[in-house]
């Protein structure tokens, strides 16, 4: 069922120690409200992982949105897209006629290295944080498909080139393959520039129950799935199965398939993530994503540009804000408002995030949503 | 619109350092699923404030509920009731036909004193944590209504008497007025036994779209409101206005008014909270709650028993679990399953929680829900 995106906004991304989380949110909310030309919605769904108590209320009351029901949601790296998913469900189920999906995160005030999640978890205590788990995925992928370190590193090269055209991006410099490969080793084979950094940002999307103008973007479908511990035992690299299954549901619900996609924003918290996700989404055959990327297929100017914003690697990855920021980028792309990083003629856009799953006993979450210009 | 509660469960409450959060959740989930005589639901809404990443997935996959959409929600002390509220909305909007509302919190592993929320907040840095803000409410209430320290302390006496009949309660000893008044001063005029302690627990409620048996309890209405900074400037004590307005909506939606209530579970994180809430709910005139309580009106055996579980003060207040535990207590009461703390003939029950609001710039959240035996 279709909901309609009336407005989008975001703060800039990066280390912003001079700003409180609510201040970042105010920037995103003001832009989204002005874009939608409204001052009021009926409810708010707020994605944040480490946001302190009251940050959602403070963010919304700061732009005059006090009194409405506010529901903060969390799903690890998919927290922002979970807020979008709940906004979509609230509209399509007829619960509300206008809502905001807000994402906000301020990681640099909380962490000084890899994000630590659960001090009681024994696997994490041994070092199995996100870089470690993605590094194991990368090793497995390289073994399965004969991929090289360069195959991984080119993801960061492409996304940094895209990000260099995004004035809101955290990493604004286009990196060379040599720079990516020579950067500090974080978790073999992943080097520093193959890992998303800590980021502070907010993003907001306003979703309504009717199409009001030709600038409104259709939110054709949104699917949220949770995975399980056995995902680690799949014949595919970890994460592949849940992304494939979630995307399949979205393709079916929207009637838009992978071949129809004009632009994609997906979860490249680590370079290997983008390769695996491209294949799970059906944008490349298993093991074929590196060659297709090398041929320019997923670059701006190519057939199916992926992460024109710079992705999590270059725009930044402020957990709760990420999924909402992906939606904002797609809105700008589908309206033709993306400036020097515009994907020409883009009419359909897909976003994907995957959250959690560090520990063997945990499941993870995946959200895939389909947007379309109208 | 009515949803139906098919099952309820909870862990015990208290300091449970030998158990992981997920283990507490498994206990609650197993009891609720067995009570509902089902093994599967379509989605889960999980209330937790400080739950670490993945706790919801770990909790649900541990009882075989892997793969379903899991949405963790947060609204400070109202996080559990927000999960219940979202479960209610998911059913009544037709989004799902069966869902779980789970609440889980493990505070003793994280805190060793009053809960600290936002290190960037200047008011909190001056000591304005929850005990402080409720102490100011108590002082204001005493000034406005000529209430005495004994008027406040009797709330803890009543709820500890109720809690002494609850085998799951954290504080199992019935306290005397002298003990409450003589306990350590936390924030004048509130003494130790007038403040809910740190607690670890989980609770679960299964909500469905149809009435299956006579044991099913109707969830007639649920309303979530957010407040604003101006609540502190009301002519009433802080929190009164939002509780009054939220309850009014629930009374209207359910057709059940304050005079019709047989049993109430409300937010007594501090003794003053119960007095203010009783008046805001319309169970006593402004300033009249202490006298009515003194006359036994709100005790088990009285006209309208309040917090038969022991309330947050004695059963315990594990933030994300609290609202769900309130619902579980009402289910047991409305079925006549509450043992020695049974409210005889209870047919209607109301729950209320209020979350957040420590800082002047924040808003808070209030959830009120109406349950009825059928």
Tens of pLDDT, residues A16-26: 999 999 999 99
Q: What are the structure tokens assigned to B299, written together?
A: 């005790």
Instruction: Please tell me which residue of chain B has the smallest CA distance to A85.
Output: B71
Q: What is the model's pLDDT at position B238?
A: 85
Tell me how far apart the alpha carbons of residues B110 and B101 are, in angstroms, rounded to a whole number. 23
Tens of pLDDT, residues A138-167: 999 999 999 999 999 999 999 999 999 999
Q: B55 and chain A: CB distance < 8 Å anywhere?
A: yes
Q: What is the model's pLDDT at position A119?
A: 60
Q: B296 and chain A: CB distance < 8 Å anywhere?
A: no
Which of A167-181, A224-238, B99-113 has the least mean pLDDT?
A224-238
Instruction: Please state the rounded mean pLDDT for residues A270-295.
Output: 98
Q: What is the model's pLDDT at position A66?
A: 84
Active site residue A317: yes
Tell me how far apart the alpha carbons of residues A306 and A283 are, in angstroms, rounded to a whole number. 10
User: Across chain A, what does the average pLDDT equal?
Assistant: 94
Our CA angle for B207, B44, A68, nearest 5°, is 85
C-beta of residue A288 within 8 angstroms of C-beta of residue A143: no
Those residues whose C-beta lies under 8 Å from the C-beta of residue B113, and which sit 6 or more positions away, are none
Tell me how far apart the alpha carbons of residues A15 and B242 are, in angstroms, rounded to a whole number. 37
Tell me how far apart the alpha carbons of residues B334 and B162 are, in angstroms, rounded to a whole number. 17
Tell me how far apart the alpha carbons of residues A345 and B127 are, in angstroms, rounded to a whole number. 56
Of the candidates A274, A306, A365, the one whose C-alpha atom is nearest the C-alpha of residue A80 is A365
Of the candidates B340, B189, B194, B317, the one whose C-alpha atom is nearest the C-alpha of residue B265 is B317
Tell me how far apart the alpha carbons of residues A215 and A331 are, in angstroms, rounded to a whole number. 9
DSSP B75: B
Our CA angle for A10, A15, A17, nearest 5°, is 100
Active site residue A195: no
Sequential pLDDT tens for chain B (374 residues): 799 999 999 999 999 999 999 999 999 999 999 999 999 999 999 999 988 778 899 899 899 998 899 999 999 999 999 999 999 999 999 999 999 999 999 999 888 877 766 666 666 777 778 898 899 999 999 999 999 999 999 999 999 999 999 999 999 999 999 999 999 999 999 999 999 999 999 999 999 999 999 999 999 999 999 987 766 678 898 889 999 999 999 999 999 999 999 999 999 999 999 999 999 999 999 999 999 999 999 999 999 999 999 999 999 999 999 999 999 999 999 999 999 999 999 999 999 999 886 555 566 899 999 999 99
pLDDT exceeds cutoff 60 at A359? no
Of the candidates B239, B330, B337, B221, the one whose C-alpha atom is nearest the C-alpha of residue B281 is B239
Helix or strand holding residue B99 (H, E):
strand B98-106
Q: B86 and chain A: CB distance < 8 Å anywhere?
A: yes
Q: A20 and chain B: CB distance < 8 Å anywhere?
A: yes
Chain B from 340 to 369: CB within 8 A of any A CB: 356-359, 361-365
Mutate: best of B42, B234, B363, B366, partner A, most A CBs <10 A? B363
Tell me how far apart the alpha carbons of residues B181 and B154 are, in angstroms, rounded to a whole number. 9
pLDDT band at A118 (very low <50, low <70, confident <90, very high): low
A263 to chain B nearest CA, in Å?
26
Q: Show residues of chain A in contact with B227, CB under 8 Å.
A: 57, 66-67
Q: B118 and chain A: CB distance < 8 Å anywhere?
A: yes
pLDDT band at A121 (very low <50, low <70, confident <90, very high): low
pLDDT band at A287 (very low <50, low <70, confident <90, very high): very high
First to last CA, chain A: 15
Q: Show residues of chain B in contact with A94, CB under 8 Å.
A: 93-94
pLDDT exceeds cutoff 90 at A243? yes
pLDDT exceeds cutoff 60 at A99? yes
pLDDT exceeds cutoff 60 at A41? yes
Tens of pLDDT, residues A333-346: 999 999 999 999 99
Q: Show residues of chain A in contact with B369, CB under 8 Å.
A: none
Q: What is the CA radius of gyration of chain B?
A: 19
A339 to chain B nearest CA, in Å?
35
Q: B18 and chain A: CB distance < 8 Å anywhere?
A: no
Q: Specify the pTM.
A: 0.96
Q: What is the model's pLDDT at position B66?
A: 84
Q: A227 and chain B: CB distance < 8 Å anywhere?
A: yes
Our CA angle for A306, A298, A3, nearest 5°, is 30
Q: Show residues of chain B in contact with A89, CB under 8 Å.
A: 90, 95
A270 to A24, A266, A342, B18: CA distances (angstroms): 25, 11, 24, 36
ipTM: 0.94
Tell me how far apart the alpha carbons of residues B310 and B329 are, in angstroms, rounded to a whole number. 10
Q: Show residues of chain A in contact with B120, CB under 8 Å.
A: 20-21, 52, 109
> Contact B69/A225, CB-based, under 8 Å?
yes
């Amino acid at each position: 069922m279709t909901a309609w995106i009336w407005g989008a906004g975001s703060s800039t991304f990066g280390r912003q120690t001079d700003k409180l989380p609510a201040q970042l949110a105010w920037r995103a909310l003001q832009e989204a409200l002005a874009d939608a030309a409204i001052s009021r919605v009926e409810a708010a769904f707020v994605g944040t992982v480490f946001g302190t108590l009251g940050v959602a209320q403070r963010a919304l009351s700061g732009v005059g949105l006090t009194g409405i029901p506010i529901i903060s949601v969390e799903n690890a790296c998919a927290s922002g897209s979970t807020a979008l998913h709940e906004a979509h469900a609230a509209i399509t189920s007829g619960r509300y006629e206008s809502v905001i999906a807000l994402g906000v995160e301020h990681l640099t005030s909380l962490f000084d290295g890899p994000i630590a999640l659960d001090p009681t978890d024994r696997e994490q205590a041994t070092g199995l944080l996100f870089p470690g788990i993605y590094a194991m995925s990368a090793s497995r992928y390289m073994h399965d498909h004969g991929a090289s370190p360069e195959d991984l590193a080119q993801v960061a090269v492409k996304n940094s080139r895209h990000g260099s055209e995004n004035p809101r991006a955290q990493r604004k410099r286009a990196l060379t393959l040599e720079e990516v490969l020579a950067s500090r080793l974080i978790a073999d084979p992943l080097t520093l520039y193959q890992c998303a950094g800590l980021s502070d940002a907010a993003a907001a999307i306003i979703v309504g129950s009717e199409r009001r103008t030709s600038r409104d973007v259709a939110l054709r479908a949104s699917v949220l799935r949770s995975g399980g511990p056995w995902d680690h035992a799949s014949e595919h690299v970890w994460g592949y199965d849940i992304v494939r299954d979630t995307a399949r549901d979205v393709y079916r619900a929207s009637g838009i398939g992978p071949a129809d996609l004009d632009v994609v924003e997906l979860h490249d918290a680590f370079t290997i993530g983008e390769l695996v996700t491209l294949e799970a989404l059906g944008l490349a055959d298993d093991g074929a994503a590196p060659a297709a990327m090398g041929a320019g297929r997923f670059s701006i100017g190519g057939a199916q540009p992926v992460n024109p914003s710079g992705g999590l690697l270059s725009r930044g990855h402020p957990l709760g804000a990420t999924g909402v920021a992906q939606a904002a980028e797609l809105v700008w792309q589908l309206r033709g408002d993306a400036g020097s990083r515009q994907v020409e003629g883009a009419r359909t856009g897909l976003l994907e995030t995957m959250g959690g799953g560090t520990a063997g006993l945990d499941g993870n979450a995946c959200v895939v949503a389909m947007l379309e210009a109208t």
